[in-house]
Structures are given as structure tokens and as C-alpha cells.
Amino acid sequence: MNKNQNKLKIGLLGAGTVGSGVVKALQNNDFVEIKKIGVKDLNKKRDFFTNLNSNNPALTGNLSEIVSDPEIGIVVEVLGGLNPAKELVTLAIKNKKHIVTANKDLIATYGPELFDLAKENNVQIQFEASVCGGIPIINTLKQTLSANNFKKITGIFNGTTNYILTEMLNKNLSFEVCLKEAQELGYAEPDPANDISGRDSAYKIAILASIAFRERIKIDTVYTEGIQKITLEDILLAEELGYRLKLIGLAKKESDGKIDIRVHPAFIKKTNTLSSVFGANNGVLVEGDLVGELTLIGKGAGSMPTASSVAGDINLLVAQISSSQKPNPQFVCQHTDFAKIRPVSETTNCYFLRIRTEDKAGVVGQIGTMFGKHDVSINTLTQRGTNQDNTASITLLTHLVKEERLQRALAEIKNTNVVKQVENVIRVLD
């Protein structure tokens, strides 16, 4: 396709933070033209498309009009959430339109259904922007590293939680104070539940794992734990022990074919490249049999980083459409089997525990005995002084142990008179 040929027409669903960035990113694109933009409020002032290298697109409050327009070849969905995005994308596919989306919720929840529908209608769904904003992780897995058998993916997938944990570390502040600061600066939503609960990260690791391991992942099979219980004390103790506390998403395929996939806070070694991912940045560590370890770090959200990935997907589609090529198999969901997931109770980890006990002789011995009864081997155990309520704070690190054994030991320990509270349990990654 050259400049003199007709431009491919695009319909944009959503004109918020990401949508406005997409419009700006396409200002100098010689091959596409945004014909219509679907918005919720037609009266809202918008001046971001006044300098487009095309006629200004029409605004419409009727989103169905965009997915039904016969002149539109690509529908770009940046509404977010499941409704009305799922209904509109489904209708667009049935109308033979290619899809570009930044919607992780949609892909992680309804991806298999939508990919099957796209295959039936001979159209493609591109979703690079759904994971890690401006980091090109999806097409890296699908194309650049496609010759690899992937062993493991580990990442920091949520900028909000990473910003909060970074501020807690750097400023010695509590979780609550740093969350409020993140909201005031726009890094966290007024309702931050999706971020701090780990749900946002679960969507993203599910998408990446399904690509890397060529099996579909049901989002409700991803074990998910957030950062709500993390205290400044946990963060400082991690540093003292040679670790850094991060909210980690990981997926690895094990020798029996099951996939261990989960999201939770973790102590990671300071030598791990992800330990140096600070602020609102994201980072992904990929392990393949050919490439070895590869780390990608960058802005995981925001208007222009996400728009960069959306525009890149549009360009991929334009190149294929203009050359009359069949869809590149590397960009089409080929797998149909659902993965067998390793329950978190069957995973093996080291653990950090923070326990508050009675301050009297013999307590440490009792705790050690109970752990030993359940074959939980203690690496280090430290009593960290007496609290104002005459209790003692004990921290310990375990050797590798199956989670179900640790949980059985903790259930017994919690029921003893000498243990007042198991204040936190955090996994320690290699």
C-alpha cells in the first residue's frame, strides 16, 4: 500500500486516556484513517484530533454504529472492562472486522470464545496493548521468540502496586499512606481493588502463559493474592535479608505438563533483574530453551505507551490486509486445549513468616517442634525483641517445602496458646 491508495478505515471504541493516545499516535499514519470514534459523552470537549493527517473523525454516541459500519475494516476497542466491550467486539467480528484491543479483562476472560469466533470469520484479534502497555511482550513471545520452548515467565505486571511498594521502601511509609498518594497522583484508581488485590496481574499472566505454553488458561484457575496485608516491616525485613518485596506474577510449565500459575507478593533476590524495576514501571523475565533469560522493562500503562502498542498492532494488520496475505499463523490463536493447572497447595516454595508469640522461655523450641512434625525445615529463625504488649516478634525463613505441608503446620501453630498471631506469610522465589 502507498500514500496514493485509499486509506484503511478504522473505528475507535473509547476516547479516554488510551483512546486519546491512539488518536495522537495515528496523526501521521499514511495508511489508516479513523472514520468514527465512539464516546459516552458527545458534549465533552475534545481537541486531540484537530491535527490529524486526515479528515476529522466523526464522534458518535451509538457504539453499535461503529461495529456495523461497512466501510470500517478495523475496530479498535479501548473501552476497558467486560461490558459493553464483549458484546461490541463479538458483533464486530461477526461483521468481518479485525480487532485491536487493549482490554486485558476481555482477553483473559473471553479470549477462547472470541478467538474461535474470529477464526470462523477469517479475521484477527491483536492485543499487544492488553499486557504491560508499551512493552512489546506479546508479539515478542508470538513472533520473535516463537522458536523457543518456554520454561517460565515471571513479571511485575501492575504499575500501581509496584509504585506503592517502591514508595513504602524509599520513604518508610505505610501501605495506606502510599496508596492515598498513588490515588492523588493518578497512579491508582479511586477504587483500587483490581490492582491491589492482584486481579489485574492475574489477567496479564494468564494471557502470557496461554501464548507461551500454547494452552488456554481459565482466569479463575490463577491463584491470586494481593498486597493489602503487606506492611513496611515486611518490606524492610526483606531488604535486611537480601531480598526485595514485589507483587509477582509467574507461570511455569512443569515436567508432568501441569502449569504452575499464580500472582502473589514475593521476596526476590536483589540479583534478580526484576528487583530493580521501580515506580510505576513493569518488567517481564522470560526463560526459553534457546534464548535463555530475557528481561523487558518499561512503562506498563499510560496514554502514549499503550497507544504505541495499539498502533503497532494496527500496522501489522494493515501490512497483511494490503498484501492480501492470509493471517500469519504466528498472530492467530492456534491452540484449543485448556491447560492443566497445578493447585497452589501442590507448589513448592521457600517461605518468610512473621509470627507474634508470648515472650517466655521455650516458645522458639515449641514452634520448631511443630514445624518439624510437618516436615517443614527451618533455614533461619530470629527473635526480634519484645513488643509493648509483652509479646515477642519472631521471623523465620524455611527451606523448600510443599505449600500444603506449611499450611498444615500453620494451622496447628495458630491453635497453640503461645502463638498470638501469624502476622504474615510471604513466598520466597529463587
Would you name the residues annotated as active-site residues? 204
Q: What's 313's DSSP letter?
A: H
Which residues are CB-contacts of 334 (< 8 A; sequence separation ≥ 6)? 214
Q: How far is CA 195 from CA 128, 132, 133, 188, in A?
A: 20, 13, 15, 8
Task: Dig out the grid coordinates for 122 from the structure.
Answer: 477469517
3-state secondary structure of 337: coil
The C-alpha atoms of residue 215 and residue 225 are separated, in whole angstroms, by 23
Decide: residue 419, CB within 10 A, 0-12 exposed, 13-18 middle, 19+ buried: buried
Q: What is the rounded radius of gyration, in angstroms, for the C-alpha atoms of the chain?
A: 24
205 closest CA partner among 188, 189, 217: 217
Q: What are the φ and ψ backbone dihedral angles of 128, each rounded to 5 degrees? A: -55, -40
3-state secondary structure of 75: strand
